[in-house]
C-alpha cells in the first residue's frame, strides 16, 4: 500500500500551520502557548519556588517538576475524566527529561521549578506541542537555559516518512508515531519515542527530517519570545 497523498493534503515534510504567544498567563512567572494545526498547548512556569514535601528537596540543586494534563473536553472522542492517568504521568516524566538538559538549577538548592501544561484542544502531537510551549515559558520565566527545546512528531504512514502527524495519521493502522525533541543549536536529541513497526533506515530518515522541521519551529519560538518585548 502506498500513502500517495496525506489526509489533509500537506507535503510529507510539511508542518501544520503553527502559532505561538508568550506571556499569556500573567500570574505565572513565565508562560506561553504553542499551536500546531488543531493541537493547542498552554504552559505556565512557577519558580524557582519553595518545594514541599521537604523530602523531595535536593540540597545540591533545584528540581524540575512537570505536570501535563488534557482538559476534559480536549480529547478526540468522549470526555476525558479529569485526574490525568497513566498516560499523563508518563508524558510528564518524558517531558521532564526532555527539558532538564538545557536548564541549570544548581543556584537554587532545595527549590523547585514547576511546569504546568494544559491542552484545551488536541489533534495528535500533544507532547511535542507541550515541549514547544514549555521551552518558551521557561525562557519567559528568566531561567538559565543553554538553548530552547523544539519538538515534532515524525512518523511513518504506510510507506512514507511524514512530519507532524495529525490524529488520523497517528491512529492509522499501518503507521508509526515517532516524537522527537531536540536542541536547535547542537542538534542533540532529548526526547525520542516510538510505537509501531519501523526499520532502522526509516528511523534515521525520520529523525533527519524532524531536525529540519525543528529549525522552523525554533524560528516560531524565537519570534514569539522576542515579540513579548517588542516596542509597545
Partner 1 sequence: MYQELKTHLVRALTKGVRYDGRKLLEYRPITVEYGVSASAEGSARVRIGGTEVLAGVKLDVGEPYPDTPDQGNLMVNAELLPLSNPKFETGPPGEQANELARVVDRGIRESKCIDVKKLVIKSREKVWSVSIDICTINDEGGLQDAAALAVLAALKDARLPKLTEDGQVDYDAEKTKEKLPLTKDPVEVTVIKVGDQFFVDALTDEENVIEARLTAGITDKGLICAMQKGGSLPLTVEEIDKMLEIAQKLAPTLRKAL
Partner 2 sequence: MTEELIAKDKEIVVPGEILATGMGFLPGKGAYRENDKVLAQRLGMVSIEGNIIKLIPLSGRYIPKLNDRIVGQVVDVLLTGWRVEINSPYSAVLTMKDATSEFIQRGADLTQYYALSDYVVCKIVNVTSQKLIDVSMKGPGLMKLRGGRIIEVNSQKVPRIIGKDGSMVSMIKKATGCNITVGQNGLIWLSGEPQGEVIAVKAIKKIEQEAHLSGLTERMQAWLEKETGVKVSLAEAPQETADEAQPMHPHHFGGSQ
Q: Interface with partner 2 by CB under 8 A: which residues?
A: 29-30, 47-50, 59, 62, 102, 104, 107-111, 139-148, 183-186, 221-222, 225-226, 229, 231-232
Of the pair 1, 232, the CB lying nearest partner 2 is at 232
Of the pair 15, 117, the CB lying nearest partner 1 is at 117
Among candidate residues 159, 153, 152, the one with its CA nearest the CA of residue 198: 159
The reply to whether 108 sits near partner 1 by the rule CB under 8 A is no
Q: x/- contact string, 16-35, with partner 1 (CB under 8 A)?
A: --------xxxxx--x----
Q: Which helix (H) or strand (E) holds 19?
A: strand 18-22
Residue 43 · residue 115 · CB < 8 Å: yes
Which partner, partner 1, partner 2, none, binds residue 143 by CB below 5 to 8 Å per kind?
partner 2
Q: Shortest Cβ distance from residue 192 to partner 1 (Å)? A: 27
Of the pair 74, 176, the CB lying nearest partner 1 is at 74
Q: Shortest Cβ distance from residue 140 to partner 2 (Å)? A: 6
CA dist., res. 1 & res. 178, Å (int): 20
Residue 167 C-alpha cell reads as 490524529
Q: Which helix (H) or strand (E) holds 140?
A: helix 126-140
DSSP, residue by residue, 18-45: EEEEE---TTSSEEEEEEETTEEEEEEE
Amino acid at each position: 500500500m502506498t500513502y500517495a497523498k496525506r489526509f489533509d493534503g500537506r507535503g510529507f515534510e510539511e508542518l501544520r500551520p503553527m502559532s505561538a504567544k508568550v506571556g499569556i498567563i500573567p500570574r505565572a512567572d513565565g508562560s506561553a502557548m504553542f499551536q500546531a494545526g488543531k493541537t493547542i498547548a498552554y504552559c505556565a512556569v512557577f519558580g524557582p519556588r519553595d518545594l514541599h514535601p521537604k523530602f523531595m528537596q535536593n540540597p545540591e540543586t533545584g528540581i524540575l517538576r512537570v505536570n501535563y494534563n488534557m482538559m476534559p473536553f480536549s480529547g478526540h472522542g468522549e470526555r476525558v475524566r479529569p485526574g490525568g492517568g497513566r498516560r499523563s504521568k508518563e508524558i510528564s516524566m518524558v517531558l521532564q527529561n526532555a527539558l532538564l538538559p538545557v536548564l541549570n538549577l544548581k543556584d537554587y538548592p532545595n527549590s523547585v521549578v514547576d511546569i504546568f501544561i494544559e491542552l484545551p484542544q488536541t489533534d495528535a502531537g500533544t507532547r511535542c506541542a507541550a515541549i514547544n510551549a514549555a521551552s518558551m515559558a521557561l525562557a519567559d520565566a528568566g531561567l538559565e537555559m543553554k538553548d530552547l527545546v523544539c519538538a515534532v512528531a515524525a512518523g511513518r504512514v504506510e510507506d512514507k516518512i511524514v512530519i507532524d502527524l495529525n490524529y488520523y495519521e497517528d491512529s492509522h493502522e499501518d503507521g508509526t508515531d515517532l516524537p522527537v525533541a531536540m536542541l536547535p543549536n547542537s542538534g542533540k536529541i532529548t526526547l525520542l519515542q516510538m510505537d509501531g513497526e519501523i526499520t532502522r533506515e526509516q528511523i534515521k530518515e525520520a529523525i533527519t527530517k524532524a531536525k529540519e522541521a525543528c529549525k522552523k519551529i525554533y524560528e516560531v519560538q524565537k519570534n514569539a519570545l522576542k515579540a513579548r518585548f517588542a516596542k509597545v
